Amino acid sequence: MDGTGMAVVDTEKITINMSVVDLGKVDLMVEEGFYSNRTDFIRTAIRNQLGRHDDEVRQSASRRAMVVGVMVYDRKGLEKLRAKGRRVRISVVGMLVLANDIPPELARETIESIKVAGVFRAAPAVKDALADRTN
């Protein structure tokens, strides 16, 4: 748990389609002991590709004024913003978590826009309340 009552996980499940020949090659690499399983191979391949493009990702995130990592907002933080008469534009590469203690009305009053490249976690009612502000 992350202190907001929500579990923060390191991974998200994805599904990919690949040719049977490529899959056979992956299986062969696993059988030869280069990788422990298909998932290990695919994770390694993705990390290698992301590593090759790390500068481009950082430049793009910077240009778009996006935070890279995990961003968590809770009720207390949003109430402080509301008390100051401020609204926030949230832009994240990674994961945005809006804690379960945030009521939909507070979210609408304090969050101007949301852009997430990655994972957006919030209560369904909060996501619904912010649907018109989420890209």
User: 17 pLDDT exceeds 70?
Assistant: yes
Instruction: Identify which has the larger pLDDT, 7 or 9.
Output: 9
Mean model confidence pLDDT for the chain: 91
User: Tokens 């401020």 belong to which residue?
Assistant: 86
Query: Which of 45-49, 64-68, 128-132 has the weakest average pLDDT?
Result: 64-68
pTM, 2 dp: 0.71
Q: Taking a C-beta distance cutoff of 8 angstroms, is the pair 67, 93 a contact?
A: yes
DSSP letters of 25-68?
HHHHHHHTTSSSSHHHHHHHHHHHHHHHTHHHHHHHHHHTT-EE
Question: Stretch 27-45: mean pLDDT, rounded?
Answer: 96
User: 11 pLDDT exceeds 90?
Assistant: no
The tokens of 114 are what? 């949301």
Name which of 78, 86, 134 is nearest 102 in CA terms. Answer: 78
Strand, coil or helix: what is 126?
helix
